[in-house]
Amino acid sequence: MRKHYLIEVAQNDQLVVFCPPAILKEKELKRIAFGSRSIEVDFIPHPDQDDRISISREIQQALQYPSFNIPLHVFCANQSLIIGPLVGIFTAGFTSLPLEPFGDRTQFFSKLLSVNKMVGALPFVFGEQQIDWDLGTIEGYFYHNNSWETVEIPFPNVIYDRLPNRRSENNPRLIKVRERLQKEYLIPWYNPGFFNKLEIHERLIQDETVSKFLPDTLPFTSFSSIETMLSTYGHVFIKPKNGSLGIGVHQIIYDKHSDVYYCRFQDTSNVNRLRKFSSLESLMGNVFANQSLEKMLVQQGINLLRTESRSIDFRVHTNKDDMGNWHVSAIAAKIAGPGSVTTHSRSGGDIKTIEETFPNEECSLYSQRLSDAALLLSSAMDRHVEGIIGEIGFDLGIDRNGEVWLFEANSKPGRTIFTHPELKEFDLLTRKLSIAFAVFLTEQSLLHPEELIQ
């Protein structure tokens, strides 16, 4: 287990750092660093403390180190002692409200930053407007003593991407910020970008370790492709390539006995609908009249496990830890609302623990199969998707034969499942791991920077 050290600030102006002897053993250190700031100092073994590092007020000011009394990690590289990591969480959508600087996402960020002492890191939130490129500083938002405060700090060791939507992700100004921090300042940037469903499918389908989990999926090209899949699978899903929250998902069912087509979807008033048509052309012309079908994909329907005639799928979170290893950090069952095409809560779906959903033997079996699949898929996405991935939210299904299927992978998974009281501890675990991964990235950037260049 990695050790954390308390950073004390002594009321003197000497450029001297008192350090535990174990850190100084067989190391020639000449500088101390925090984020992008460093200063040349003398190192002296701490006479009676092995769990803290003492710096002077002069060093604190030179490093722009905020004394929040947070135990931190230390890293030794290039004759420097680096304290941190300083973790920048990049986002957009700031408000002018001091108590809610990020609007309805303020509570999420306050909970995310509150893991700092447990993880041994110093996370803060910032956007493009908080950056001073000339000074090389950021006016970062810190959550300290249950309130928000801004502190001027150096550029961080790593950046965690929490842009809220695809619109902000595609903003040219924000793209330039990311490119500049990555390329000019060589700051590792993790979890960049929302996933495109079809691109993920096309990359994973070529990997034999995970291709068995992928349902037949095609870009929409013609009615005949839908007819072919309907004749094979009986029902299909049509969904946006870049959709989220189950918005825009339609299920088409062909009843070969009566030769009719059914379409299940949620209308613009969030009402679940089931409509009947005599032909596929009639269905498409009515239901998709105002939609761009070239932005859609068609996916094989799966006969999922059900409870009380309602379909079940699963949200499985995976995270990398401070050693860069994948873990399953949460599993929840999502049960479709009556008449709903998806299991999302906005469509009347329910969230349950897997233990609530199945008897003991089935619970153990399904948990293991979901975990095994999620870890294989996480490793495969590492291999085939650009950028540094630290967390994924998978939407997985299990069919009536017990086989696991991947419906979607989310780079910035929603946290609705954690409203369930039995999943609170997993909420904390996912937050801890999402910041702990920054510890691993900081160490890699210092010791093996070539491995982080994408």
419 class by beta-carbon count within 10 Å (0-12 exposed, 13-18 middle, 19+ buried): exposed
How many domains would you assign to the chain? Answer: 4
> What gap in Å lies between CA 396 and CA 374, rounded to an integer?
8
The predicted structure's pLDDT at residue 1: 67
* DSSP structure class, residue 345: G
Residues 238 and 381 occupy one common structural domain: no
448 assigned to some structural domain: no
Tell me: the pLDDT tens digits for 8-44? 999 888 999 999 999 998 789 999 999 999 999 999 9
Residues 171 and 101 occupy one common structural domain: yes
> What gap in Å lies between CA 280 and CA 265, rounded to an integer?
15
Residues 313 and 355 occupy one common structural domain: yes
Residues 429 and 330 occupy one common structural domain: yes
167 assigned to some structural domain: yes
343 assigned to some structural domain: yes
The predicted structure's pLDDT at residue 343: 66
213 class by beta-carbon count within 10 Å (0-12 exposed, 13-18 middle, 19+ buried): buried
In sign, the C-alpha dihedral spanning 102, 103, 108, 114 is: positive
Two tokens, residue 316: 């499985």
Two tokens, residue 287: 């239901």
Residues 124 and 259 occupy one common structural domain: no
Residues 76 and 91 occupy one common structural domain: no
Tell me: the pLDDT tens digits for 94-103? 999 999 999 9
Residues 365 and 436 occupy one common structural domain: yes
Q: Which of 197, 289, 285 is nearest to 241 (CA)?
A: 197
Q: Which of 407, 366, 362 is nearest to 213 (CA)?
A: 407
Q: Which of 298, 329, 356 marks a domain boundary?
A: 298
Residues 6+ apart with CB under 8 A from 36: 136, 154, 155, 156, 185
The predicted structure's pLDDT at residue 222: 80
Q: Which of 438, 13, 381 is nearest to 193 (CA)?
A: 381
The predicted structure's pLDDT at residue 11: 87
452 assigned to some structural domain: no
Residues 246 and 205 occupy one common structural domain: no
239 assigned to some structural domain: yes
Residues 367 and 434 occupy one common structural domain: yes
- Its pTM stands at 0.92
The predicted structure's pLDDT at residue 345: 64
Q: What are phi and psi of 232, to 5 degrees?
A: -85, -45
The predicted structure's pLDDT at residue 291: 74
Q: Which of 271, 253, 406 is nearest to 337 (CA)?
A: 271
| Digitized pLDDT (tens) for each residue of the chain, 454 residues in all | 689 999 999 988 899 999 999 999 878 999 999 999 999 999 999 877 788 999 999 999 999 999 898 999 999 999 999 999 999 999 999 999 999 999 999 999 999 999 999 999 999 999 999 999 999 999 999 999 999 999 999 999 999 999 999 999 999 999 999 999 999 999 999 998 899 888 999 999 999 999 999 999 988 888 888 899 998 999 999 988 776 666 788 999 999 889 999 999 888 777 888 899 999 999 888 888 777 778 888 999 999 998 888 889 999 999 999 999 999 999 999 998 776 676 666 666 789 999 999 998 999 999 999 999 999 999 999 999 999 999 999 999 999 999 999 999 999 998 989 999 999 999 999 999 999 999 999 999 998 887 776 5
Q: At 329, which CATH number?
A: 3.30.470.20
> What gap in Å lies between CA 20 and CA 54, rounded to an integer?
9
Q: Which of 84, 119, 140 marks a domain boundary?
A: 84
316 class by beta-carbon count within 10 Å (0-12 exposed, 13-18 middle, 19+ buried): buried
Q: Which of 28, 56, 84 marks a domain boundary?
A: 84
The predicted structure's pLDDT at residue 241: 79
What residues make up the domain containing 122?
A: 87-187
Q: How far is CA 34 from CA 31, 64, 152, in A?
A: 10, 8, 13
